[in-house]
Amino acid sequence: MKNKEKTKEQLINELSELRQRISYLEILEEKYKEIEKKLHINEERFRDISENANEWIWEVDKDGKYTYVSPVVEKILGYKKDEILKKHFYDLFHPEDRKKLKKAAFEKFAQKKPFREFINRNMHKEGVVVWLSTSGVPILDEEGYLLGYRGADTDITERKLMEDALKDSEKKYRDLVDNAIVGVYKTNIKGDILYVNKALASMFEYETPEESKLGGVISKYKDPKDREILIKKLYKKGKVNNFEIKMITKTGKNKNILLNAILNGDTISGMILDITERKQTEKKLKMYTEELQRSNRELEQFAFVVSHELRDPMVSLASSLKLLKRKNKGGLDLDSDVLINSAEERIKQVQTLLSDLLVYSRFGSSRKKLKPTDCMSVFNQTIENLNVSIEETGAVITHDYLPEVIGDAIQLSQLFQNLLNNAIKFCDKKPPRIHISAERKGKEWVFSVSDNGIGIPQEHIGRIFEIFKRLHGIGVYSGSGIGLSICKKIVENHGGRLWVESEPSKGSTFYFTVLDGKFLNDLSR
Ligand code: ADP
């Protein structure tokens, strides 16, 4: 009995062991609770992440059938979670890509390795294209057999569309550059040609852009020093505009080139324009202009000499005829009287012609300095000069405000005088009515001299500004046909234009332009 009964000591031991176990169990329970809490937190975290992430999270079995999808899928592809769970991942691919993408995906499955950024085109439930970037890791059992994959998909539709648009615009830009009519190039400082477009290659007689790269850019300079200057300028300012150089083509022809360049790190890019023809034309034009100016000067000189030299003989011829008439007053027969009168008439005409010629030669290529000139006082002076013919014809001349312009008072007075003279002369109405006005157009004034005269037929309008061109016989209206040529010269000397609008039997308006008095600096002469 004594044996069977536990001793007090034994009981104490057992009790303490029990206590230890209880406290161990309590610790375990505590730990378990803690783990459960952590698990709960983790689960919540996972749910928060998977439900609110932009990516949708999925799991598929080894055949590709979905076994789990996070609800975000509905936002991205329009399908409810349950609808997706009935599908294989490849059912969602765009029909055009399905076969190819399915093959590629299962090749990845076969490798049983994680993969990243597998780009695929899918169809939204409503038929819109959705681009996804897929990453996944394999799910393996203990023996390493593939059970499936799990991973996440990111919607990259916006990025993809932007990339496509960028590619598209890059292609368009490239097409544009490749086919531009100006030469486009890219070189480096050393002189290697990195890119040229077709236009540049053919400008230099190369078959292809590739061929033109041979030998680098320096070999194409007529004077390699020009390139050194270009590089110096580029280092200083970063870009160069309208740099004129001479270059050589494949067959050794010289080309005048206008070049624009921008320095970017080690590369220089820009455009070039072949201005060879333009240069030649400019050269020819300069030559012709000089030739024209020379022959004009000769003509004016000739006109001056002729009018000067013939003036005195004409004066003595006229006085001889006057003397002859006086000496034989009453003694000559009628025919001789008519002859002498007609000779006097002719001499007067020649004298008018000579004095007009003299004016023409004087204003021909006037180099007089132009300055702000008050047209009102020029006009008043002109009216005084025309006093006799105004009184004879009873002409009524009215005018608006006449401004200050950049001009030469003597020439402008001659201009007014010739135009007014014609307006009075070529008029069959009584009284001749003439109106002068001036209208501001930008920096210029457009003057107009309108009359109520006989007008000019449309078909003759272009001819009347040529020297000696008259539309009427000598006996009908007096004149030499030089007046309007003088006007034209004067207006040209002022950097302006002269033209006429007219309607036969209603009247004519002559227009001319001159620079406003404030714009002395704008005068390009
Ligand atoms: P001219 O007056 O000496 O004949 P111009 O050179 O001044 O020479 O004018 C050339 C021609 O233009 C004139 O002969 C005339 O036929 C025509 N013409 C000029 N001004 C007028 C005008 N105001 N009205 C009609 N015809 C005109």
Highest mean pLDDT among 160-164, 260-264, 466-470: 260-264
Question: How close is the Cα of 470 to the center of ligand 1, in Å?
Answer: 6
Q: Quick check: CB of 356 below 6 Å from ligand 1? A: no
* Continuous segment of H or E residues that includes residue 136: strand 129-140
Residue 481 in this model has a pLDDT that exceeds 80: yes
- Ligand 1 binding pocket includes 424 (Cβ within 6 Å): no
- Mean pLDDT to the nearest integer, 267-296: 91
CB of 58 sitting under 6 A from ligand 1: no
**Residues 208-243: pLDDT tens digits?**
999 999 999 999 999 999 999 999 999 999 999 999
Tell me the pLDDT band of 474, cut-offs 50, 70 and 90: low
CA 472 to ligand 1: nearest atom: 16
CA separation (Å) from 486 to 79, 361, 381? 90, 9, 19
Q: What is the pLDDT of residue 525?
A: 46
d(Cα 89, Cα 449) in Å, to the nearest integer?
A: 89
Is the pLDDT assigned to residue 472 strictly greater than 70? yes
Q: How far, in Å, CA of 93 to CA of 480, rounded? A: 94
Is 472 close to ligand 1, i.e. is its CB under 6 Å away?
A: yes
Closest CA to 360 of 288, 247, 210, 466: 466
Q: Is the CB of 64 under 6 A from ligand 1?
A: no
Could you tell me which of 281, 237, 285, 284 has the C-alpha nearest to residue 261?
Answer: 237
* Helix (H) or strand (E) segment spanning residue 48: helix 8-52
Q: Where are the beta strands (DSSP E) in 328-412?
A: 371-374, 396-399, 404-407
Number of residues written out for the chain: 525
How far is it, in rounded angstroms, from Cα 109 to Cα 29? 42
Query: What's the half-sphere exposure (Cβ side, CA atoms, 13 Å) at 175?
Result: 6
Cα(456) to centroid(ligand 1), Å? 9
Give the rounded percent of residues in the chain with a pLDDT score beyond 70: 98
**Burial group, residue 59, by CB count within 10 angstroms (0-12, 13-18, 19+):** middle
Q: Measured from the CB, is residue 414 less than 6 Å from ligand 1?
A: no
CA distance 255 to 245: 8
Helix (H) / strand (E) containing 258: strand 254-264
DSSP for residue 289 = H
pLDDT tens-digit profile of 166-198?
Answer: 999 889 888 888 887 889 999 999 999 999 999
Minimum CA distance residue for ligand 1 atom 25 = 455
Determine if the peptide bond prior to 403 is cis (ω within 30°): no
User: Per residue in 311-334, pLDDT tens?
Assistant: 888 899 999 988 988 888 877 787
Which residues share a beta bridge with 66?
60
508 lines ligand 1 (CB under 6 A): yes
